[in-house]
Chains A and B, each alone.
Chain A
């Protein structure tokens, strides 16, 4: 199998001492090269988009960062440590938290109860059969705070399974935020949403980045959103790194136009 010779420096951002860095990362499934020799770096506090045509390897790219699949070659650095061989759970504890393309929530529980499970998990309380009232108040305050942050406080006691799709995706974000992420990965946050819901989600992502300085990496198909809010954009095509840069640089990039934007026009 091709071991994917590393080509450091091929991607911009590789040299910066950033939050996240991938060096020559490869992943193949049998003969399919889902991700080939991708190098990439991201700084703390960046809001960055990953784009690419269908089959570009975007979701595999996310799975590599979050540990759902191990790379067949290459290294993954987070906060200066090589996390290539670490499990999903270890990476969540480090602060690499993702949301899912297919909504993954606790459907028969209320918004409040969903968020509370995540808050208690983040605080390492799962095994506790008893909490002091002070501790319980801390949990309740944290849940309330998160629900205010994502603007779901008025729906706190609704069952999540009965909410509109857009609100369910927002609950996903609340669960992710409860884990105190250092890097939040959003897999198509607006997929399947109507205009109003999309607007609400975009506003939320922008606010999380602007007000909390949260580092966010997101996959998105809607180019309006990508070029509207991303500070930097990375383009994948057929598993390969194609380009990286500011929205202006990317929209001016001939290779990107040929591979991707041209296709849409």
Chain B
């Protein structure tokens, strides 16, 4: 770093930041309290969700889709790249995990690892195809990539099960030394997913607080200005794309094992679109926005699809309403800005 800082400058700067702290402290306490409540609620979810009309697997599904939507939002909300193809990474993760369990070995950790790595490598390799595209072209190419994998899954019948989907595998108990953690139990699987969710959240939070994350947000804000500072923005869009795709693949592996089934629908652009809707519903500028969107989407889908076949119509109307009334998403209305990113 440039060492031109003088002692008096440092003293003034220090004084300013101290002067700013009294107002910041209560807000920080509130935030910490909110975090404690949030994680406590997730840890105790299997205890209370049934009492409010839900079931544990619903909570698991929210967390699984939550990982995917938060990961998509790294690219969508923080870097400013509209991907309509994230189902590709989700589906690759799902097929990777399912095939590992079916053809390779009955190991849950291995399934998670293989699916995540396969999806991550695909996103990393295909990233250069999209990293130079802007706006609508970016979206179109991501759709095309997504549909490519969809058609492969449909056509490659004897391996993927084609249109019928891939079945005939199930998540296997995890052996840790003499201990056995039986994830076939729904509650135990929930906790496995919760651990993955927490790991994914920590990774994303750390990234967003790092220079890489700052660069992403700056790309979203004004890519031209950043270029003029001498930043090769393509590389950082690529990084966002690869990391986002990898974490989405992780969600895909967990989804396949939640239902012990995966199908080409997990690769379809409609799912990609749903991920985008979840982000927009909850608020793309906020770290937690997409999770709110996921919760609304998954719960509404679960409830409405038991009432009517046209549940998508209701979701659509909800989407239109929220976009009209809360253009920044539900969480976006609570605060002025996505301070979590800072």
Interface members, chain B 307-342 (any A CB < 8 Å): 337, 342
B60 CB to closest chain A CB, in angstroms? Answer: 29
Interface string of B200-215 (1 = CB under 8 A from A): 0000001100111011
Q: Which residues of B contact A89 (CB under 8 A)?
A: 227, 230, 232
The docked-state distance in angstroms from the alpha carbon of A105 to that of B285 is 18
Most chain B CB within 10 A, of A100, A125, A127, A149, is at: A127
Q: Does B180 contact A (CB under 8 A)?
A: no
Report if A29 contacts B (CB, 8 A).
Answer: no
Chain A contact residue count (CB 8 A cutoff): 46
Tell whether, in the assembled complex, residue B231 and residue A121 are in contact, meaning their CB atoms are under 8 Å apart. Answer: yes
> Nearest CB to that of A112 among chain B residues?
B342
CB 8 Å contact bits of A128-162 with B (1 = contact, 0 = none): 11110000001101101101110001101101000
Contacting residues, chain A, for B14 (C-beta < 8 A): 144
- Tell me whether A128 and B13 are in contact (CB under 8 A): no
Q: A127 to B239, Cβ gap below 8 A?
A: yes
B217 CB within 8 Å of chain A: yes
Q: Is B132 an interface residue (CB 8 A)?
A: no
Contact with B along A116-127 (1 / 0, CB 8 A): 111011110111
User: Using a CB-CB cutoff of 8 Å, which residues 1-20 of chain B contact chain A?
Assistant: 1-2, 4-5, 9-10, 12-14, 16-17, 20
Known contacts A120-B214, A121-B226; 15 additional CB pairs below 8 A are A89-B227, A98-B228, A100-B228, A109-B218, A121-B215, A121-B230, A121-B231, A126-B231, A127-B211, A127-B212, A127-B236, A128-B211, A128-B212, A139-B211, A148-B12
A-B residue pairs in contact (CB < 8 Å), sample of 16: A89-B230, A92-B229, A106-B218, A109-B217, A113-B214, A121-B215, A121-B226, A129-B211, A131-B211, A141-B5, A141-B10, A142-B2, A145-B13, A153-B16, A175-B225, A180-B2
Interface residues of B (CB under 8 A from A): 1-2, 4-5, 9-10, 12-14, 16-17, 20, 206-207, 210-212, 214-215, 217-218, 221-222, 224-232, 235-236, 239, 285, 337, 342
